[in-house]
Structure 1
Amino acid sequence: MPASALARNSLLTLIANISLALSNWLILVVIAKNFDGAQLGQFVLALSITSPLFLFASFKVRTLVIVDKYWRYKLEEYANARLLANTIVTVLLALIAIITLEFHVSLIFIVVVYKWFDTWSEFCQSYMRRVDAYRTACVSLTARSLLTIASVMLVTFTSSNFEYMLICWCVIAGIFTVFDTVKVYQLSTSCETKPLSASLIFSAGSVKRSLQLYKQYFTVAVALMISALFVYLPNFLLTYQLGVVQAGQFATISYFLVAGGILINSLSQAATPQLVNLHKSQNQTAFISLVVKLCGMGVAIGIAGVIVAYLGGEYFLTLFYNSDIGEHADVLIWVMAAAAIRYIYIFIGTSYASLQLFQIQTKIYAVGLIVMFFSCLLLIKTNGLVGAAQAMFAATVCEFVLFALLTKNQYRKVFEVTVSAS
C-alpha cells in the first residue's frame, strides 16, 4: 500500500472513529450535566458488564476479516459467528439482569440492543475496509454520529426522561445498521462470488464453520475481553468498594483514555493491511520500521495527553462534566500517564495481530489484568479514585515491560518460519 493510500485511509478511519467516540462521550456528558450521579453510575455499570462480553463475542472480527486475505473462512461464516456469539451473550446478560438487582432491567435491555446494532455495524465496517471502501465506512459512521448528537441534544432539551434519551441513542444506531447492511450487500455483489445474504449466513454449512472459526480464535476473544476489562474492571471494584456514584465519576474521567485510544486504533486499523502485506513479502526490515514509526506516534500522543491533563485537567473536567468531577483532576493525570504507556505498546499488539500471534498477546494482557485487579484492591481502599487510576498505571507498566522483553524474539521466530516455508 503506497504511503499516500495509508495516509488517506488513516485519515478517513480517524474521522469516522473520532465522530463515533464523540457521540458516545456526549452521552456521558449529557448524563453528568442533566441527571444525577446514581443514573450515571447505573449507566456506567451497564456498559461495564455488556461491553467486555460483546467484545468477547466479537473475536476481533474487524481485524480477522481484513487479515484473512484468502478467505480461509467465508464472509457469511464470519457473519454467522458474529450473530451466534451475540445471541449467547444476550442470553447470559438476561440471566445476569434477572438474578442481580444492581441495575434496572430496562437499562440493560437498551444497552444490549445498542450493542447488537453497534457490533453488526462494526462487522459491516470491517468488510468495507477490506475492499478499500474506506470513504463509505467514514460517511456512515460520521453521519450516524452527527445524527446521534443532534437527536440526543434535542431529546434532552425537550424531555428530562433518562430512558427516552437512551432509546433515541439506540434507534439511531439501528437505522445506520440497516444502511451498513445494505452497503455490504452491494459491495459483496461486486467483490465476491456470491453476495452476502440471509440464506448464506444461516445455512447449515455456515453454522458449522462459524463454530470452528470461533473455536480457532477463542484466544482472540479472550484477549479482547481482557483488553476491555482494562477500562471497565476499576468501575466494578469502585462500585463494590465505594459505590455506584464514584464508579460513574471515574468512568467519565477514564473515558479520556478511550478518547485518545481512538486516534491510536484508527492508525492501527489503517496500518494492519500494510503490516500483513509486509509479512507476506517477508520484508522484516520494513515491517519493524513501520511498527517503530507507529510506536513513535503513540509516544507523541501520550505525552501530549499528560501535558493537557496536568495543565488543564480541573478546568476541562468541570467544563465537560460538573464541579464534583472537576475536583478529581489528579485522577485524570494518572489515567493519562497510564494511557501514554499503553499508546506505545498497543501498536506492538497490532503487529502481533497481523502476524496472528494471538496467544502471546493474550497472556501479556492477562498478566496486566491480574496486576490491575490486585492493585485496585489495595489502592482503592487507601486512595479512592486516585488508587484506581494508579492501578491502571501499574498494569500498563507491567504490560509494556513484557512486550519489550518478548517482541524481538517473537518477530525473529515468525520471519524465520516464513523464510523456511518459502
Structure 2
Amino acid sequence: MQQLKPLTLRRNFSWTFIGNAIYATCQWGMLVVMAKLGSPEILGQFTLGLAITAPVMLFTNLHLRSVQATDARHQYVFGDYLGLRLISTVLALLMIALITLSAGYRWQTSLVILLIGLAKAFESISDVFYGLIQQHERMDRIAISLMIKGSLSLLLLGFGVYISGNLLWGVAGLVVAWGMVLFIYDIGSGALILNQTPQARCHLRTLTKLVSLSIPLGFVMMLISLNTNIPRYFIEQILGERELGIFAALAYLMVVGGMVVNALGESASPRLAKYYAVGDSTAFCQLLFKLVGIAAILGLTVVLIAIVAGRQILTLLYRPEYAEQANLFVWLMVAAGIRYISSFLGYGMTAARYFRIQIPLFVVVTSISAMTCFWLVPKQGLLGAAIALNISAVVQLGFSLAIVIYALHRLKNNSENNHAIY
C-alpha cells in the first residue's frame, strides 16, 4: 500500500549522498573527539568493539535490506523481513556476549564491546525499515534518519567522553542516540509507507524460505566485514591498542569516497534489479558501466590527494603523531580506490540475484587477507596491514568482474532463467 510517490534516481542519489555525507562526517567527528580528548588507546578500544560486533551483526542481518530493495516481484511482505530481523538480532546479541566473555578482555573493554553490540542491535532494526523505504525509492526518509542519528551520536558520545574522560559513557550515549532514532523516526517512516503500524510476522515456512534465500548474503557480508577487520585483529594482538587506534583513524578516511559509492549504489540498486528482472541487459550494462567509471575516477582522486597533501591532512584532522604515517595513508587510499570499483560490481551481482556464488568469492578474499596479514604485520607493522588490504582488494576486484561478466552473458543467452539464484 504505497502512499509516497517514488523519487527520481537523481533525487534519490542527492538525498542519499547528503544523508551519508553528514552521517559519515559525524562518525568521523566521533573519531576526532576520541583522538583529541582521549588517546590512540581509547580509539583502539572503540575500534576493537566495532571489529568484534560488526561481523556477527552483518551475518545475522542476512543483508535483508538488499533482498528487500531488489525484491522486484514482491515475494515477501514487510512483516516477514521484520520478524526475521528481530529473531536474528537477539541471536546476534547472544553471540556477541559469548565471544566477549570468552575472549578474556579487561572488564571495561568487555563493557564497551557489549554496549556497542546493543547500539548495533537498534541499528539493525532500523536497517530493515531502511530496506522498506529503499524498495519504495524514498531515499529522502533514510537520509533524514541518518542525519539525525549522526548528529545525536556525535553529540552524546562527545558529551559522555568530555564529562567523564571515559569511553564507556560515550558509548552509552551512542546506545541512547540510536535507540531514539529507531523508536521516534524510523518506525514512523515505515508506518507512513505501509499506511499502518508495522507488525512482525513469524510464519515458520515463510521465514525458512527467506533465510534460505538470504543466508548466502549474510555469509558474504560477514566475510566482507572479516576482510576489513582481520588487519585490525592482527594489529591489536601484535602491536597493541595504540597502533590499532592510529590505523583506524587513517583507515576511516577511506569512507570519504565510500559515501559517494554507497549513495550511488543504494540509489541504483532497485533500478539495476528491474533492468535485470525484465532482461534488459543493455540498460543494466550501461548503468553499471557508468557506476564503475565514477568509482575509478574517485579512486584516482583520493590517491592523488593522499600523495600530495596526506601529511598536512592528517596533522590538521588529528595530531602530529598520526601524520607520521603519511606513507601508510597513501597505501590505504589505493586500497580504497580498488574497493570502490569492487563495491559497484557487488551491487551489480546482488541486483542480478547472484547471491550464493559470492560466498566462495569472499572465502578466497578473506583467506588471502588473513594469510597476508599473518605474514606481513609482524614484519612491517601497520604498513604490512595496508599492503595486505591492497592484495585482497585486487583479488576481490578480479573475481567480482568475472561474476558480473558471467551474469550478463547468461542474461543475454538465457533470458528465461534470468531470475535464477546462484
TM-score by length of 2: 0.92
One-letter amino acid of the structure 2 residue matched with residue 48 of structure 1: A
Give the CA deviation at 1:107: 0.8
Provide the residue aligned with 2:198 in structure 1.
Answer: 196
Provide the residue aligned with 1:318 in structure 2.
Answer: 315
Instruction: Kindly indicate whether the alpha-carbon contact (under 8 Å) linking 2:352 and 2:407 is maintained by their aligned counterparts in 1.
Output: no
| Counterpart Cα distance in 2 of 1:159 and 1:107 | 14
Residue by residue, what CA displacement relative to the aligned partner does 1:295-344 show, whole Å, maximum 9, x if unpaired? 00000110111011111212222222222222111111111101111111
Corresponding residue to 2:134 among 118, 129, 134: 129
Q: Are 1:38 and 2:41 matched, yes or no?
A: yes
SS in 2 for 1:266: helix
One-letter amino acid of the structure 2 residue matched with residue 185 of structure 1: A
Q: Are 1:141 and 2:146 matched, yes or no?
A: yes
| Counterpart Cα distance in 2 of 1:91 and 1:147 | 27
Instruction: Kindly indicate whether the alpha-carbon contact (under 8 Å) linking 2:83 and 2:201 is maintained by their aligned counterparts in 1.
Output: yes
Corresponding residue to 2:285 among 277, 288, 294: 288
- Structure 1 gaps, min length 5: none
One-letter amino acid of the structure 2 residue matched with residue 209 of structure 1: T
One-letter amino acid of the structure 2 residue matched with residue 130 of structure 1: Q
Residue by residue, what CA displacement relative to the aligned partner does 1:336-372 show, whole Å, maximum 9, x if unpaired? 1011111112211111101111122232222111111
Instruction: Kindly indicate whether the alpha-carbon contact (under 8 Å) linking 2:64 and 2:128 is maintained by their aligned counterparts in 1.
Output: yes
Residue pairs, 1:9-408, within 5 angstroms: 9-103=12-106, 104-178=109-183, 179-189=185-195, 195-197=197-199, 201=200, 203=202, 205=203, 207-408=204-405
Residue by residue, what CA displacement relative to the aligned partner does 1:178-216 show, whole Å, maximum 9, x if unpaired? 1211221232126xxxx522xxx154x2x5422331133
Provide the residue aligned with 1:411 in structure 2.
Answer: 408
Query: Which range moved further: 244-253 or 411-420?
Result: 411-420
Give the CA deviation at 1:375: 0.9
How many residue pairs end up in the alignment?
411
Instruction: Kindly indicate whether the alpha-carbon contact (under 8 Å) linking 1:40 and 1:248 is maintained by their aligned counterparts in 2.
Output: yes
| Counterpart Cα distance in 2 of 1:420 and 1:89 | 35
Give the CA deviation at 1:126: 1.8
One-letter amino acid of the structure 1 residue matched with residue 148 of structure 2: A
One-letter amino acid of the structure 2 residue matched with residue 88 of structure 1: L
Are the structure 2 counterparts of residues 420 and 230 from structure 1 closer, same or farther at C-alpha, using a change threshold of 3 Å?
Answer: closer
One-letter amino acid of the structure 2 residue matched with residue 235 of structure 1: R
Instruction: Kindly indicate whether the alpha-carbon contact (under 8 Å) linking 1:188 and 1:196 is maintained by their aligned counterparts in 2.
Output: yes
Are the structure 2 counterparts of residues 146 and 218 from structure 1 closer, same or farther at C-alpha, using a change threshold of 3 Å?
Answer: same
| Counterpart Cα distance in 1 of 2:102 and 2:62 | 27
Are the structure 2 counterparts of residues 323 and 79 from structure 1 closer, same or farther at C-alpha, using a change threshold of 3 Å?
Answer: same
Residue by residue, what CA displacement relative to the aligned partner does 1:115-154 show, whole Å, maximum 9, x if unpaired? 0111111111221122232222222221222233334444
What RMSD over aligned residues (CA atoms) do the two structures have, in Å? 2.0
TM-score by length of 1: 0.92
